[in-house]
Amino acid sequence: MTKAPHWIVRVDDRLVHGQVCVGWCDTLGIRRLVLADDLIAACEFERELYACCPADEQSLEFMTLAQLAAALAVPPGETTLAVLSDPAAAETLLELGAPLPELILGGLHHQPGARELANYLFLTPDQEAGLRRLSARGVHLIGQPLPDSPRLDVNRLI
Amino acid sequence: MSLLRALLITHGELGAALLATAEEILGPREGLAALSNRGLSRDGLVAELRARLAELPAEDGLLLLVDAPGASPHVAARLLLGGLDSAERGRVLGPLTGVNLPLLLTFLNRRATTPVEELLPLLVERGRAGILL
């Protein structure tokens, strides 16, 4: 049975890159991508930087977090992958009233003081605290770099 | 510019493997390095690139070669260039995407004898010509 068009919200500190465009979108036939980041939405250089990332059949929209929060309130016309840079952005979405039943943690790479949950998922104390707040608000946190990867139940690990 | 160096920024070990393979074919060459994106965020990869650029001898230039357009090595290379002043920018070429063995071998054989403004189009031509059906 084909799943109805839905939102997939992913946190990735590389933002839009090969794993997103090829690993997720091309593999699953997702043609609509959203990069939601207030700084990038306001910066022409950054927007141009990412414009060449998607394949020809894919579209990439740039949104502020407020714009994405509004968009998440209604089902998309087609399945859409939205990318955030950090768990804090997901908290902002909740504060703006967005529904966020599930958050995919696709790539948070090593930085000083970060704890390793998987080889693609390192959490600083601040990020981990933010994820605990998201968990307490009912967000299902899934560690999953690629569609075929095992789904890591992050709610139980933080 | 006394030596045009090359930095291959790629996924996994692709860059290191391409360099090792090119040197198997042509023999050891100077001024070549590879940087993998493995385990690095966007900002982490840009920081690594800045560190490599800081080590570049003042008289040398650097060509950035990346594997796939739009992938994190390409994005990081463009972010690096966007943050350089005009003096630094003049010493850094590229990024050139889709690096393959024919392109790299051409670079190594022609970098000392071909003017820069002709070298980059030649590399694009040879890289594309290496794909046949």
Rg (CA), chain B: 14
Predicted confidence at residue B38, as pLDDT, reads: 95
Mean pLDDT, range A36-61, rounded to an integer: 94
CA distances from B74 to A52, A96, A148, B98, B111 (A): 10, 33, 25, 10, 22
Interface test with B, best of A33, A50, A57, A109 (most B CBs within 10 A): A109
What global pTM score does this model have?
Answer: 0.90
Closest by Cα among A42, A20, A46 to A33 = A20
Spatial CB neighbours of B30, under 8 Å, sequence gap ≥ 6: B3, B5
**Quick check: A16 and B70 CB within 8 A?**
yes
Mean pLDDT, range B24-52, rounded to an integer: 96
Q: Examine residue A1 and state whether it is found in any structural domain, yes or no.
A: no
Query: pLDDT, tens digit, for every residue of A56-109?
Result: 899 999 999 999 999 999 999 999 999 999 999 999 999 999 999 999 999 999
Q: Examine residue A41 and state whether it is found in any structural domain, yes or no.
A: yes
Q: Examine residue A2 and state whether it is found in any structural domain, yes or no.
A: no
Q: Examine residue A132 and state whether it is found in any structural domain, yes or no.
A: yes
A118: domain CATH number is: 3.40.35.10
Predicted confidence at residue B40, as pLDDT, reads: 96
B42–A contact, CB cutoff 8 A: yes
Predicted confidence at residue A1, as pLDDT, reads: 52
**Quick check: A109 and B44 CB within 8 A?**
yes
B83–A contact, CB cutoff 8 A: no
Query: pLDDT, tens digit, for every residue of B78-116?
Result: 999 999 998 889 999 999 999 999 999 999 999 999 999
Q: Examine residue A38 and state whether it is found in any structural domain, yes or no.
A: yes
Check pLDDT > 80 for residue A2.
Answer: no
Predicted confidence at residue B19, as pLDDT, reads: 98
**Quick check: A14 and B70 CB within 8 A?**
no
Closest by Cα among B62, B81, B90 to B5 = B62
Name the domain count of chain A: 1
**Quick check: B75 and A111 CB within 8 A?**
no
Q: Examine residue A62 and state whether it is found in any structural domain, yes or no.
A: yes
**Quick check: B70 and A18 CB within 8 A?**
yes
Which domain does A34 fall in, by range?
A: 7-148+151-155
Check pLDDT > 70 for residue B1.
Answer: no
Q: Domains along chain B?
A: 4-129 (3.40.50.510)
Q: Examine residue A14 and state whether it is found in any structural domain, yes or no.
A: yes
Q: Examine residue A130 and state whether it is found in any structural domain, yes or no.
A: yes
Q: Where does the pLDDT of residue B2 fall: very low under 50, low under 70, confident under 90, or very high at 90 and above?
A: confident
